[in-house]
Chains A and B, each alone.
Chain A
Amino acid sequence: MAGAQPYPKVRLRACHPFIESLLMRSALIALILMICSAPAAVAQTLQPILQTHAVEIAKPSRRSVGEALNTITRSGVPQATAFLEQWSKKNIWQRDDGVFLIGVADGDILTLTDVDTQATFSAPKSNYKRLKPNGGVRRLIGTALVQFQLIDPDLSRREAAVASIARRPEAAQLNPLLTSIDAETDPALKVRKIQLANFLSALFAKDPADRIAAINILSTDTSIESRAVLNQILSVKSGVADTQPKGNIAAIHNPMDAPDTYYAALVNEGLAPAKQTAADIKRALEFNIVNGRIAGFSLALMNDPDTRETAYAVLAANGLVPALITDDLRNTALNEHVFYDLYDEPNVDITAVAKTALGSVTSRVATAQVADLTLDALSLASIFFLAAIGLAITFGVMGVINMAHGEFIMMGAYTGYVVQLFVPNYTMSLIIALPLAFAVTFGAGVVMERLVIRRLYHRPLETLLATFGISIALQQIAKNIFGTQARPLTSPDWLADAWVFNDVIQISHIRIAIFVLALMFLGLIIYILKRTRLGLEVRAVTQNSGMASSMGIDPDRINMMTFGLGSGIAGIAGVAIGLYAKVTSEMGSDYIVQSFMTVVVGGVGNVWGTLAGATMIGFGQKGIEWLNPSNTLAAQTYMILFVILFIQFRPKGIVAQKGRAAGD
């Protein structure tokens, strides 16, 4: 149907003119091939072909299955595609007598389908053995299926074929892929096919001009795949020879840059004798002790390094030991040889273009990495901020050291888990869980304030101990109710994916949601504290509770409400954190230190300070991680050291309270 249309009508933005020319050519070839091969498909049975390779099919391995796959795909038997697909899905069973059948298990009963006649029947599982091709074999099956699936009417099969090509690009796939682009109806898949065709052309096209054109397009593509293609084209082999070798030379090295390393390479190639180590010399000298003398020198003289050298030289001159490789000898040997890197690709033009393209891609990737790191840092900062903002109110504004703050986060997360048990729709359950988590932790906060904290105002040490005890008790209660195992808090589908700008810059939706949530709460808290009656009263009570109460404000009620608010926000933070990380009884203790650090660094008593603190810690941690990617723990340790130093120089934090509010 698509073939009936004149080609240029389908013109895509990403479709480069040279691909079009390739398309035309390969479409013709494919047409000819189809005409020639059509009569070959005579009614045939698959089972005998399978039986000839029964061992490789029953116990397949990446290295041994290739021939079996070739025979099956070349057989031209129409049932082969279905068999390969089912095999890859682990739906092929082998009967005791070796016959292969397609089967679906239901309990102990198998529903089996004959691979040739498609006849179905049921049988008990005990006489059958399921074939389980491993990941490596499945990848090969996927590649073998590409030729059948590329033009399949089913979109998911075409997508599978394209994914297979992306995983194992082969030269033979270029033409079928190009032919299939024309008839592709799905726009997204078509763009992907054109992109893949471009990769394959860059690697495998026959005409160097086509390859260069394809490589030039890659110079703006920052995807991992495109970098992989360019790196493959630019792959080199290092070597050493007497004279400069013929071929496409990538680089000639100067051996004097690291003479010992290059000499070792020379020794490895068998082009020079190995350099003696001090131990070798010692052993050689010891071996040649004759009547208490070495080469005529008495042993007593051997303390002197010069004598040892002379003795060794005498031994060498007598042919008793190999000559000593001095630095001069080494340098002479190095200068007699050429150390080179040779491109695997013989065409000079192609490697030159690829090198330019890779250079351009690398600089783009570096820019993108900075952007990605910034995104990660922003996300980490927003997580810290969300975890700490409740504490910014209870500790920052009220001055209560609440060690059980982390457990309020944990309670919020478990609320989310419990809601999911009753509301199976994840989106709906999230909508219910957020206010419910607030209500639960608000209540818990109010209870704790009434029972414990109220009695301990202005006694920070006792508050610390009491709330620490409560935190341990809450953890144990959670363990008793929910068990010690982590509980799943699953995000709805629309939150489960990631926002992908390109292969370098991407961030998961849940992190974006946390960022938005953090911003919302920042606005909310600022609004409540600065613009509402409650906020005014809170500020009044925290600044001077006696004065406030003489003005008709009930400080007990205000303290209770404020503490409840701070705890309630911790509960909502718990739902968000549970969605992106984990829900365990101990999750709170992961955040309590970070939260206090955030509030203290930012400046006690100021929500903006908490924001500044979270931003500083988030960016600082990501920065250190970037400098030292192999040890995340070290990054956290350095960050804490930095915070301690910072507090030394700015004891009141980034945003310091001034005047009477500072309280001193």
Chain B
Amino acid sequence: MKLRSTLLSTLSASVLCITGSAALADCADPIKVGVLHSLSGSMAISETTLKDAMLMLIEQQNTKGGLLGCELEAVVVDPASDWPLFAEKARELLTVNEVDVIFGNWTSVSRKSVLPVIEELNGLLFYPVQYEGEESSKNVFYTGAAPNQQAIPATDYFLEELGVEKFALLGTDYVYPRTTNNILESYLQNKGIAADDIFVNYTPFGQSDWATIVADVVALGEDGKQVGVISTINGDANIGFYKELAAAGISADDIPVVAFSVGEEELSGLDTSNLVGHLAAWNYFQSAESDANTDFIAAWKAFAGEERVTNDPMEAHYIGFNMWVNAATEAGTTNVDAVRSAMYGQEFPNLTGGTAVMLPNHHLAKPVLIGEIQADGQFDIISQTTEVPGDAWTDFLPASAVLKSDWKELGCGMYNVENEICVQLTSNY
């Protein structure tokens, strides 16, 4: 058994050497990059943009001379916003198309569906969207924000800068809002906000009847406390929500709303004149002033169309893709394990200025930005922190406060620091 495995590994190593040298010589097969984003169904609204962004990044890399002397080739599949189909398409990408890396997913439920496949086949996934944390897979790099890079700083901003004393946590009914709101509830109570002063509501995807919920939020102000709304409402339900807010005449000065899933793309479906001053928290806004960002926006508009906007998950793909290219170049191969080792400590400039660093827990250190909605549908950045390291396991839930993820030194994504044992290696929880 042992003999066989050594034999196998030497064999595979030699195969690798051969393909490596062959690639440098004439590169018969291009390096394949899988793009796993829904192009139809309810999430197409957000994910098609990311597919386009990936195609642009790959095209740019090819004009720069490709990777390791080879052309890059995008393999685009459509999982159709169907969560189980994500797993099938991931398997297809890894076994049939034999891609070297996958960039994809938006909703957490689709990521959870892909995890077992990608871990079984030892693939590599770059996940670009802000998410609820509480997860760490050896085969996934999370280039979006963890809760401590978006939700917690935004809540601090409400508490410190706006003096909010009463919170309405409104969310769409699925795993991301529910987990985030659990973390926030526990965080707010630690900060001395009474449980009675936190109002939580969940609505279905695509909710359009917001009158009663908005009235409930307004009624929170009846004891004279400053009310603020933290919104994890996802997708097009936001449109009805903001329309109802505007109709009820609620200005950002009266009841500020901070959203975690509303970016430039979502605002393009709205008349924003009544929303001026409401907030969003992200790691990137199109309005960020830096030379890299100006170039990126210009390239994007040239690629996709003049009226298109950029957003945070696009920046996450931009950073993730470039880090992957640099790591593969350093490793001299696109082999998953070699690239993963080379990823730790990778640095790449953010589009907002400053530098993103890949941490051993597969998260990025990125700055947190808070922007106010402007009449033109863009965000005015009013607060920008220094780089915040992403935390896979939140410190604000007792069960996960003792957990730590470190794939570089400890080789474990779920390490209990109290007992000093690795709870488990796979992420099938």
* Least distance between B211 CB and chain A CB atoms (Å): 5
CA distance A136 to B225 in the complex (A): 14
Question: Which of A224, A376, A383, A590 is B206 in contact with, Cβ under 8 Å?
Answer: A590
Q: Please determine whether A498 and B247 come into contact, CB atoms closer than 8 angstroms.
A: yes
Interface of A is mostly: helix
Q: Please determine whether B218 and A490 come into contact, CB atoms closer than 8 angstroms.
A: no
* Least distance between B199 CB and chain A CB atoms (Å): 8
* Least distance between A366 CB and chain B CB atoms (Å): 12
* Least distance between A229 CB and chain B CB atoms (Å): 7
Q: Please determine whether A581 and B173 come into contact, CB atoms closer than 8 angstroms.
A: no
* Least distance between B231 CB and chain A CB atoms (Å): 14
CA distance A631 to B173 in the complex (A): 8
Question: Which of A142, A498, A509, A633 is B173 in contact with, Cβ under 8 Å?
Answer: A633
Q: Please determine whether A586 and B201 come into contact, CB atoms closer than 8 angstroms.
A: no
B200 at the interface (CB under 8 A from A): yes
Q: Please determine whether A508 and B216 come into contact, CB atoms closer than 8 angstroms.
A: no
| Chain B contacts for A485, CB-based, 8 A | 45, 265, 268-269
Q: Please determine whether A228 and B269 come into contact, CB atoms closer than 8 angstroms.
A: no
* Least distance between B278 CB and chain A CB atoms (Å): 9
Contacts known (A224-B219, A582-B240); A630 close to B253, Cβ less than 8 A: no
Question: Which of A61, A163, A229, A590 is B253 in contact with, Cβ under 8 Å?
Answer: A163
A53 at the interface (CB under 8 A from B): no
CA distance A631 to B247 in the complex (A): 23
Q: Please determine whether A488 and B173 come into contact, CB atoms closer than 8 angstroms.
A: no
Q: Please determine whether A167 and B254 come into contact, CB atoms closer than 8 angstroms.
A: yes
| Chain A contacts for B162, CB-based, 8 A | 62, 134-136
Q: Assign chain B's interface to a size class.
A: 35 or more
Give chain A interface residues in 584-637, CB to chain B under 8 Å. Answer: 584, 586-587, 590, 622, 625-626, 629-633, 636
Q: Please determine whether A136 and B161 come into contact, CB atoms closer than 8 angstroms.
A: yes
Q: Mark B264-287, 1 if CB is under 8 A from A, else 0.
A: 011011110010010100000000
CA distance A490 to B279 in the complex (A): 21
CA distance A580 to B244 in the complex (A): 8
* Least distance between A223 CB and chain B CB atoms (Å): 9
* Least distance between A265 CB and chain B CB atoms (Å): 15
| Chain A contacts for B218, CB-based, 8 A | 224, 503
CA distance A373 to B45 in the complex (A): 33
* Least distance between B46 CB and chain A CB atoms (Å): 8
Most buried by A among B243, B265, B266, B271: B243
| Chain B contacts for A631, CB-based, 8 A | 173, 201-202
A120 at the interface (CB under 8 A from B): no
CA distance A577 to B225 in the complex (A): 35
Q: Please determine whether B208 and A582 come into contact, CB atoms closer than 8 angstroms.
A: yes
Q: Please determine whether B209 and A380 come into contact, CB atoms closer than 8 angstroms.
A: yes
Q: Please determine whether B201 and A632 come into contact, CB atoms closer than 8 angstroms.
A: yes
Q: Please determine whether A490 and B247 come into contact, CB atoms closer than 8 angstroms.
A: no
Most buried by A among B209, B254, B381: B209
| Chain B contacts for A372, CB-based, 8 A | 215
CA distance A498 to B160 in the complex (A): 32
Question: Which of A224, A484, A622 is B212 in contact with, Cβ under 8 Å?
Answer: A622
CA distance A228 to B163 in the complex (A): 16
CA distance A488 to B238 in the complex (A): 12
Q: Please determine whether A630 and B200 come into contact, CB atoms closer than 8 angstroms.
A: yes
Q: Mark A127-166, 1 if CB is under 8 A from B, else 0.
A: 0000011111111001000000000000000000001000
Contacts known (A135-B256, A380-B209, A582-B208); A62 close to B269, Cβ less than 8 A: no
CA distance A277 to B314 in the complex (A): 53
Give chain B interface residues in 175-216, CB to chain A under 8 Å. Answer: 199-204, 206-209, 211-213, 215-216
B42 at the interface (CB under 8 A from A): yes
* Least distance between B279 CB and chain A CB atoms (Å): 8
**Nearest A residue (CB) for B211:** A376
Most buried by B among A582, A625, A630: A582
* Least distance between A481 CB and chain B CB atoms (Å): 14
Q: Please determine whether A134 and B202 come into contact, CB atoms closer than 8 angstroms.
A: no
Contacts known (A485-B265, A582-B208, A632-B213); A228 close to B200, Cβ less than 8 A: no
Q: Please determine whether B382 and A632 come into contact, CB atoms closer than 8 angstroms.
A: no
| Chain B contacts for A63, CB-based, 8 A | 160
B224 at the interface (CB under 8 A from A): yes
A476 at the interface (CB under 8 A from B): yes
Question: Which of B45, B202, B209, B224 is A229 in contact with, Cβ under 8 Å?
Answer: B224
* Least distance between B34 CB and chain A CB atoms (Å): 21
Question: Which of B208, B212, B223 is A376 in contact with, Cβ under 8 Å?
Answer: B212
Give chain B interface residues in 47-90, CB to chain A under 8 Å. Answer: 48
B239 at the interface (CB under 8 A from A): yes
* Least distance between A482 CB and chain B CB atoms (Å): 11
Q: Mark B221-265, 1 if CB is under 8 A from A, else 0.
A: 111110000000000100110011011110011101000000001
B21 at the interface (CB under 8 A from A): no
| Chain B contacts for A307, CB-based, 8 A | none
Q: Please determine whether A582 and B269 come into contact, CB atoms closer than 8 angstroms.
A: yes
Q: Please determine whether B268 and A632 come into contact, CB atoms closer than 8 angstroms.
A: no
A25 at the interface (CB under 8 A from B): no
CA distance A373 to B213 in the complex (A): 11
| Chain A contacts for B271, CB-based, 8 A | 488, 490
**Nearest A residue (CB) for B274:** A496
Most buried by B among A61, A500, A586: A586
CA distance A581 to B236 in the complex (A): 9
Q: Please determine whether B208 and A486 come into contact, CB atoms closer than 8 angstroms.
A: no
Contacts known (A136-B163, A224-B221, A485-B268); A629 close to B201, Cβ less than 8 A: yes
CA distance A581 to B240 in the complex (A): 4
Contacts known (A372-B215, A488-B270, A498-B248); A228 close to B236, Cβ less than 8 A: no
Q: Please determine whether A510 and B247 come into contact, CB atoms closer than 8 angstroms.
A: yes
* Least distance between A220 CB and chain B CB atoms (Å): 16
B132 at the interface (CB under 8 A from A): no
Q: Please determine whether A167 and B209 come into contact, CB atoms closer than 8 angstroms.
A: no
Q: Please determine whether A228 and B221 come into contact, CB atoms closer than 8 angstroms.
A: yes
| Chain A contacts for B244, CB-based, 8 A | 508
Q: Please determine whether B45 and A581 come into contact, CB atoms closer than 8 angstroms.
A: no
**Nearest B residue (CB) for A227:** B222
Question: Which of A231, A506, A509, A587 is B222 in contact with, Cβ under 8 Å?
Answer: A231
B383 at the interface (CB under 8 A from A): yes
Question: Which of A61, A136, A383, A630 is B202 in contact with, Cβ under 8 Å?
Answer: A630
A540 at the interface (CB under 8 A from B): no
A330 at the interface (CB under 8 A from B): no
Question: Which of B224, B249, B252 is A497 in contact with, Cβ under 8 Å?
Answer: B249
CA distance A590 to B208 in the complex (A): 9
A507 at the interface (CB under 8 A from B): yes
* Least distance between A476 CB and chain B CB atoms (Å): 7
A379 at the interface (CB under 8 A from B): yes
| Chain B contacts for A193, CB-based, 8 A | none
Q: Please determine whether B236 and A584 come into contact, CB atoms closer than 8 angstroms.
A: yes
**Nearest B residue (CB) for A373:** B212
Give chain A interface residues in 222-259, CB to chain B under 8 Å. Answer: 224, 227-229, 231-232
**Nearest A residue (CB) for B247:** A508
B40 at the interface (CB under 8 A from A): yes
Question: Which of B157, B209, B256 is A383 in contact with, Cβ under 8 Å?
Answer: B209
CA distance A577 to B209 in the complex (A): 10
| Chain A contacts for B372, CB-based, 8 A | 134-135
Q: Mark A490-519, 1 if CB is under 8 A from B, else 0.
A: 100000111010011011111100000000
Q: Please determine whether A486 and B269 come into contact, CB atoms closer than 8 angstroms.
A: yes
* Least distance between B336 CB and chain A CB atoms (Å): 32
| Chain A contacts for B279, CB-based, 8 A | 135
* Least distance between B213 CB and chain A CB atoms (Å): 7
* Least distance between B402 CB and chain A CB atoms (Å): 19
CA distance A357 to B25 in the complex (A): 88
Q: Which 7 pairs show the lowest CB-CB distances between chains A and B?
A: A486-B269, A228-B224, A581-B208, A508-B247, A582-B239, A231-B223, A227-B222
Q: Please list 8 pairs of residues, one from A and one from B, whose beta carbons are closer than 8 Å in the complex, sorted by A's number.
A: A133-B382, A224-B221, A228-B223, A379-B211, A498-B248, A580-B243, A584-B269, A632-B207
Known: A479-B44, A498-B249, A581-B239. 13 other contacts (CB 8 A): A136-B162, A139-B253, A224-B222, A231-B223, A232-B224, A485-B268, A486-B266, A490-B271, A500-B249, A508-B247, A586-B236, A633-B173, A636-B204
